[in-house]
Amino acid sequence: MTPGARKGADGVRIRSIKPEFWDGWPGAEFLYTGPLLKWADVDRTAPPAADKRYVYFLYRGEDLLYIGKAWSVRYRFEKHARKAWWPDVTAYEVVALTGGDQWELETAICALEKACIAEFVPMKNIAGPAYLPGRRLWVDGQNPHDQA
């Protein structure tokens, strides 16, 4: 599978791409897979909560564009809506982690996001993985990946 590509055209969840990857994340709960929703509906699929953190996957058709983490998915989507690539987003998936105190939860979600970026190689994540050419480059104040 090529970087940033999803397997199949039938709406297969991200967890089915490499099921062995998810075995290392006990407590990961898949909450939503489907088309981009209205903001209020995003809150219903992944409600903000002090005892929960989320990793989300944004897609353009079958291409994986971006992976991020949040305590409020809606808030992060509203921030992403300012990006040049946001109009291309057609679908998303959300995975929740719960349990532990705030510090443990934040540490776990950061680790999960980093592992997902390294494993699934989304096209628009500029923070990593470092081995991809141009991932950390900025040209004239712009990230070249925002233009793709």
Q: Which of 79, 101, 99, 100 is nearest to 89 (CA)?
A: 79
Q: What secondary structure, in 3-state letters, does the chain show? A: CCCCECCCCCCCCHHHCCHHHHCCCCCCEEEEEEECCCHHHHHHHCCCCCCEEEEEEEEECCEEEEEEEECCHHHHHHHHCCCCCHHHCCEEEEEEEECCCHHHHHHHHHHHHHHHHHHHCCCCCCCCCCCCCCCCCCECCECHHHCC
Evaluate if residue 9 carries a pLDDT over 50.
Answer: no
Q: Which residue has the higher pLDDT, 1 or 38?
A: 38
Check residue 102 and give its pLDDT. Answer: 85
pLDDT tens-digit series, residues 81-123: 999 889 999 999 999 998 778 888 889 898 899 888 888 888 8
Evaluate if residue 147 carries a pLDDT over 90.
Answer: no
Check residue 142 and give its pLDDT. Answer: 55
pLDDT tens-digit series, residues 44-62: 999 998 889 999 999 998 8
Check residue 126 and give its pLDDT. Answer: 72
Check residue 36 and give its pLDDT. Answer: 92
N-to-C CA span, the chain: 19
Check residue 13 and give its pLDDT. Answer: 66
Does a cis peptide bond (omega within 30 degrees of 0) precede residue 129? Answer: yes
Q: Residue 25 — pLDDT band, cuts 50, 70, 90? A: confident
